[in-house]
Amino acid sequence: MTHAKPQLRPATDAHDGQTFALWELGFRPFYLLASGFSALSIALWGMQFSGWLNHAYLQGPLWHAHEMLFGFALAVVVGFLFTAGRNWTGQPTPSGAWLAALAALWVAGRVLVLTPLAWTAALVNTAFPVAAAVALAIPFIKAGNRRNYFFIGLLLLMALGQLGVHLSVLGVVQVPGWAGIALALDVMLFVLSAMGGRVIPMFTNNGVPGAKATRHPMVEKLALGSVLLLLVADLVPLSGPGLAALAWAAAAAHLARWLLWQPWKALRTPMVWVLHMAYGWIPVHLVLRGLAALNWIPVSVATHALTAGAIGCMVMGMMTRTALGHTGRKLIAGRTEVSCYALVGLAALVRVALPLLAPSLLLHAVIISSVLWSCGFGLYALRYWPILSRTRSDGLAG
């Protein structure tokens, strides 16, 4: 069932581009919050690692993983879904005071994990994805948009993973907190696979003349199905050769999918190429995950191929593209955008390749990649603050 796109009302201020519009649509506050937080969180991680934040509730690598998944990545996903959901359904998604309240809930979660208020932190952080799922379910159900119901389920799975982390730390359950992180990683991998399969071939064909990016039904089913099987395998849990074989089969499916999109034809179009670069990290992650299952390489190398590589590059690519498109600007990557793509891409490469090739240089890899990452997302936050906080350049609302 198809639905017409919502009619955009004219901006109420005659001087379009000058009126404050941060709460008009979901991508605006959440892209800005996610980019700024991402740039700062590495510094906070360094402070916690050095002992400056002695009273933090979530400590060490668990805090770092929790915040990058349930803070940074989840904020971008929610902002994107609130924005795309309005187009998919023709129904309003959170704006104004409701959107501001959800953003405040997210911010509260980021602060509370740095305090001794463990139960409050657990409740607030779990409430955010649940509230986002409810906010998304309302327009989806009203419009009968069953095709996208699964996004509601994915948000609830993120809530479950987050709750598991907190309950483990609180000693309520005996399951390790990292089990919740693993579930969230699998959910994010599925989100990237699902959305990437929808938008990357379309953006390639629209933005690159003669690209002819294609989708094969069987390859699509194998790529998405293999990710779901990995999720189930982590819940069982499966390990050793069985997990390695599954990860490598998934890698083959995603590599075949990516090659059908002909990424080499997008090299001269940075706004398209960055999305191909991001998706290319998925088969790399899956190959490395298989090696890690056999204890041939550290698990963290495979994990950062997904988080720093696939998630980081996809987020940057989508945040620039959708922010420009939904504020009435041309979809052209300028120097700022290309610099952001290069900084985040290099951060991922350094974080994955350097420890893999020279394990003794892990500390150097972490420092260098952190600086590159923070510069990339900090540059986005500074450059896009006026774009995200002001009305559309074409005078329309949204």
Query: Does the predicted model carry a pTM greater than 0.85?
Result: yes
* Band (55; pLDDT cuts 50, 70, 90): low
Is residue 351 scored above 70 in pLDDT? yes
Average pLDDT over residues 180-203: 95
Mean pLDDT of 19-46: 91
Residue 16 has pLDDT above 60, yes or no: no
**pLDDT digits over 199-229, tens only?**
999 999 999 998 999 999 999 999 999 999 9
Where do runs of H (alpha helix) occur along the chain?
Answer: 27-50, 60-66, 74-89, 96-112, 118-143, 149-169, 177-207, 217-235, 240-260, 270-293, 299-304, 312-325, 335-357, 362-389
* pLDDT on residue 392: 87
Q: Using CA atoms, how far apart are residues 223 and 217, in angstroms rounded to an integer?
A: 10
Res. 363: pLDDT tops 90? no
pLDDT at 54 over 70: no
When the pLDDT of each residue in the chain is averaged and rounded to a whole number, the result is: 91
Least confident range of 16-30, 193-207, 269-283, 322-336: 16-30
Q: Tell me which range, 81-85, 363-367, 392-396, is most confidently predicted by mean pLDDT.
A: 81-85
Of the pLDDT bands very low, low, confident and very high (cuts 50, 70, 90), residue 46 is: low
Residue 6 above 50 pLDDT?
no
> Amino acid identity, residue 112?
L
pLDDT at 177: 81
**Share of residues in the chain with pLDDT > 70 (%):** 92
Residue 2 has pLDDT above 60, yes or no: no
Please determine, for residue 11, whether its predicted confidence score (pLDDT) is greater than 80: no
